[in-house]
Structure 1
Amino acid sequence: MRRIARRLPDQGRSTTLGRVTGIGAPMRPLSLVLTLSCLLPASMAWAERIDLPTPVSRVVLYPQGASVSRSASFTAAPGQHQLVIPDMPPGTDPASLRIEAKGVTLGSVELQSSRALPDHAPDAPAITEAKTALRRAEDALRAFDRSQTALATRAEALRQRAQITRDLLQGDSRLPTGEIAGTVEQMGALIENLLTQADEQEYQIAMNEPDRPPLTEAIDRARAELDALREEGAGAEALVLTVQTASESQAEITITGFTDQAGWQPDYDLRLDRAADTLTMQRGVSVWQSSGQDWRDVTLTLSTARPQSQSAPTEVQPWMPRVGRPEEELARARGAQADMAMESAYAPAPVVEAMPVSAGEMSRLGVTVIYDYAAPVTIRDGADSLRLTLDEKPLTPEIFAEAAPRFDTSAFLMAETVNSTGEPILPGPVTLYADGALVGRSGIELVADGDKLRFGFGPIDGLRAEIRLPEETEGDSGIIRRSSTLTESATLIVENLTGEDWPLRVVDRVPVSRQEELQIDWSADPEPSETDPDGRRGVVYWENPITAGELREITLTTELSWPEGNDLLR
């Protein structure tokens, strides 16, 4: 494995790991140089140049960035060879390249930039294929035009023969009187037959003419494809490798680099089927890249690793608290701020660098998850995100209706489940379907294996919710409460007009005190099924099925009291 660790200079120069002899190097006698060159074997005296296009073959895509591998095989004769790889993307960072050689010994490595490639360098396979496609399209058009021309020539020849026959008939006055009628009939039939054949040829030309525009369009598409590929490779750089082999062998070169102009993000479809009591998660990904080259038919691996993110914990600095008078500390802080403001008034304006924009944020996982995409993938440079389908995961849901009468006027269709996929569910957008109908878009955070999932699938219009506050008593009125007590009695109402029974959860809240002076008492009729679910203090649940046509009422009374002279802020 060879690692290039030096960045290229600009202005058409190249970076190499070879030794350079410049001005001031000791001169060796010419005779010694000639003697050494004569002693070298023929295979070592001259390095064979091998032009070796290496298209991208494998990509490991991260949430931000990608590891891009390209490889090629060749047959190497004994001796030293110079491999020219002309299709490296523009802006290649030599420090990020890793080169692996099999069957040969790798020597110096040089990346050429801002200079023309050798004239005899072969075209990249994609360009060769595009040229072949253009040639086929042009040949098809030429064959069509030749066929049409042949038909037109045939029609013209038939009409000329008919005209010659007519001229001969008009100019021949030596026919006996008794033969004129028969001759005219015979010649007329011949002329009619010739003109009929000419009409058929012209009719065939007219019938074939609609087939010509698709042929010209195919040429335009092939030419546009070739132009796009040439434009893509216009700024390409060349990698020049020196390799050595002792005997003829089959060799392989693999080059791996990294680009931060690529990424992927999960995308989910959640399909709830109430009749089957199932919840299906269809997983896909959106991928994108702007590396400077198209990736055609590559083997794609999706990784949750984040090579560019924080790789070590934050170093904890010492904490050295101090005590003092708050007034003195405040005055000292104001004086320091004034000094800094005066210094900044005379200092040059700082240059603020733009922060890179990420295609999508993903939470870091303790264990990297790898997805190998089954089929070859083509991802165009700079194109819109490409969505790929991964798989489906069945989940076992608990389906019910949930109403929050204090805030909503209807109940909502809900599904709760557990991540039983055997792997984390990564953050991403979610499209929600209920019984085959699209009901909305949402998002999902990182969900570990075995953790809970909860999704809402839209309102249930026939399941109405309402809150009534028939009584609220206090001392003085106003935004800031100045009385010592506050009592509120609320009635939560849910009415089922859907014509079917529903598992129902009614959700509300009661106040929670964080001060000893503030005393809170509350009561409910009926009693709630659960309080403080999942650690959410003050939240209460009532869970009971509601039948079709049923009207359910829940009374919730709260009383707050505090010492005189204090205010209630809420």
Structure 2
Amino acid sequence: MKHITIYAVLATVLCSQGFTYAQTNQKLNLEKATVFIRGAELISTAKVTFSKGENEFLFTNVAGDVNNESIVVNATNGTVVEGVTFQNNYTATDNVSPRVKELKDSIELMNNRRQPVSNKITTLTEQISILQSNRKVAGENTGLSVAELQKMLDLVGNKMEGYLNQKNKEDDNLKKIDERIAVLKKQLTEEQAKGYQPGGQLLIKFYAKENTTSNITITYIVPNAGWTPTYDIWADDAKGPVKLYYKANIYQNSGVKWNNVNLTLSTGNPQEGMQAPVLSPWYVSFYVPRPVNMYNRTNMATAPMAAYNKSASDETGSAGAMQEQSSMNEYVSVNSEGINTTFDIDLPYTIPSDGQQHLVAIKKYETPATYEYYAAPKADKDAFLLAKITNWQDLNLLPGETNIFYEGTYVGKSYIDTRNTTDTISLSLGRDKKIVVRRERDKKLRSVKTIGSNVREEFAYNIIVRNTRKEAVTIVLQDQMPVSNDKDLVVEDKETAGADYNETTGMLKWPVTLKANETKTIRFGYTLKYPKGKTIQ
């Protein structure tokens, strides 16, 4: 009793002076996620009541694998943050993969179904055993008449047959249930082996000058998240504007569910690093081979390669489903004034921590486009309708896959590559079978002649294009002439038929306008001169 009194008095004194604190669990509310191309910044809040003095809180519903340097804790009403410690929470059940939960629930359900079947089999087995015993007793009881004995045997036989049939049926049911449970357990093992990120905890120590309530805001960066852009492009016809639906595939395996959070998508990538590269002087010198021991063949084989690898490493070291989104525009604001573009989405979204892609609508744009037909019959016999979009820089586009719809029909996938595009993006809207293109070699103009020590071989081609549409169209036809890098192999007597000809690449382009049901033919050719006895590849 003496020790208890001393401790009680000591506790009273410490409490009166404001020095005591006890660890308290507090669940954070995840409110906002800023998703980068790789990584995400999460913002969580909590309303906490503090006692005067030091207080220690263990905050849960925190992501795992948090970048410790990125953790920022703010508290209101003069509360001071004294220390922050992060730790993974491997025992948390809230952060298990949704598929794991689903499989565990299914296994539990099958086990619940299995138990009554197993009980029924046990009961039937016991009933069959009793019948077998009664039959044995009846057979040994010689006091029964033949009629009485036959009556008892018939009764046992009828009952036995019914019980055996029921038992066989229940055995089959039990076998199917056990097989299903085995499959579910196998799937559960595979799912658990995928390594879903566990959740985390933040142990934070505060100091309050007096009893108070404070609003806590905690911000941190996680690497296991990101987004990729994707687009739907709709063209109603070959005259009007193009509708572009900007969407995002968001994934996250942070270890915590993003439940009804406000999303901001950023084109930034904090994992790329902020430090600008600095080049050091790059010194070159002549290679001086080392003296080689003739009896050491290993040195003979590896010395030059080692020198090459060293120079290469030195250089490296110095270098270092479509949905209508017209209303979405009301909920998304775009900010492109800074280094990165951000899309603030006011609608709350739920993104589970499963590493899977989840589609989010961002913006809808309507932009003018010009249309033209294109064909390269040497490579493909069909004509393609192209939509050309200018001033695409104003759309804040990133490289990404595109679903193409033309005249209300899905025609296929394309790709917007903003890194290699200058002022115009060209998108194929599909094949137009109403424009017929054919390329064939003109055999009448083909000839092979030997003049002295040289061979002259003439080539001639016809491109026939027909417009079966009811309106006039303009199509760009493309073909090519060979380009020689050998002085003995000469391309001459070029007939380009008025094409836009690039001598460096050998490319030929003809813009051709066709009236309705009109057919035109383009003839071009060239001559190859090469030494007799040589074969052209």
Is this a same-fold pair by TM over 0.5? yes
- Structure-2 residue corresponding to 1:320: 284
State whether structure 2 residue 21 is matched by structure 1 residue 47.
yes
User: Which one of 369, 376, 381 corresponds to residue 409 of structure 1?
Assistant: 381
Q: Which amino acid aligns with 2:413?
A: R
Q: Which has the larger radius of gyration?
A: 1
1:57/1:71 contact within 8 Å kept = yes
C-alpha distance 522-497 of structure 1, shift in aligned 2 (>3 A): farther
Residue pair 2:496, 2:508 contacting (<8 A) in 1 also: no
Match of 1:556 in 2: 524
1:438 to 410, 424, 428: 410
Equivalent residues in 2 for 1:464-503, closer than 5 Å: 464-470=436-442, 471-474=445-448, 483-503=454-474
Provide the residue aligned with 1:284 in structure 2.
247
Matches within 5 A, 1:111-510: 111=86, 236-274=199-237, 276-309=239-272, 311=274, 312-313=276-277, 315=279, 318-322=282-286, 335-337=299-301, 367-382=339-354, 384-420=356-392, 422-447=394-419, 451-470=423-442, 471-474=445-448, 483-510=454-481
Q: Please give the alpha-carbon distance, in whole angstroms, between the structure 2 residues aligned to 1:412 and 1:83.
A: 65
Aligned residues: CA RMSD: 3.9
Pair 375,449 (structure 1): closer, same or farther in 2 beyond 3 Å: farther
> Residue 392 of structure 2 contacts residue 424 of structure 2 at CA under 8 Å; is this kept in 1?
no
Q: Deviations over 1:293-338 (max 9, x none)?
A: 210011211111122236543746725253689xx9xxx9984545
In terms of mean alpha carbon deviation, does 55-64 or 512-521 score higher? 512-521
Letter of the aligned partner of 1:295 in structure 2?
Answer: W
Unaligned 5+ residue runs, structure 1? Answer: 1-32, 118-122, 125-231, 342-365, 477-481
**Distance between the aligned counterparts of 2:505 and 2:463, measured in 1?**
20
Q: Amino acid of the residue matched to residue 79 of structure 1? A: G
Could you say if the C-alpha distance between residues 298 and 462 of structure 1 is closer, same or farther in structure 2, counting changes exceeding 3 Å? same
* C-alpha distance 304-108 of structure 1, shift in aligned 2 (>3 A): same
In the TM superposition, residue 463 of structure 1 has moved relative to its aligned partner by 1.1
Q: How far has the Cα of 1:108 moved from its partner?
A: 2.6
User: For 1:545, what is the secondary structure of its paired residue?
Assistant: strand
TM-score (norm 1): 0.60
| Mapped pair 1:511 → 2:482 | yes
1:107 to 82, 101, 114: 82
Structure 1 window deviating more from structure 2 (86-95 vs 287-296): it is 86-95
Write the deviation string for residues 173-207 of structure 1: whole angstroms up to 9, x where unpaired: xxxxxxxxxxxxxxxxxxxxxxxxxxxxxxxxxxx
1:416 is displaced (CA, Å) by 1.6
Shift of 1:446: 2.2
Number of residue pairs matched by the alignment: 389
- Partner Cα separation in structure 2 for residue 448 and residue 488 of structure 1: 35
Correspondence for 1:67:
41
Distance 1:424 1:92, change over 3 A: closer
Aligned residue number for residue 318 of structure 2: none
C-alpha change, 1:74 and 1:34, in structure 2 (3 Å) is closer
Is 1:57 the counterpart of 2:27? The answer is no
* 2:509 aligned with 1:541: yes
- 2 CA distance for matches of 1:280 and 1:373? 20
Q: Name the CA shift for 1:276/1:114 in 2 (closer, same or farther; >3 Å).
A: closer
> What residue in structure 1 maps to residue 313 of structure 2?
none
Deviations 1:135-170 (A, max 9, x none): xxxxxxxxxxxxxxxxxxxxxxxxxxxxxxxxxxxx
Cα offset for 1:421? Answer: 5.0
- Aligned counterpart, 2:72: 98
Deviations 1:423-447, CA, capped at 9 Å, x for gaps: 5421111111111111111222125
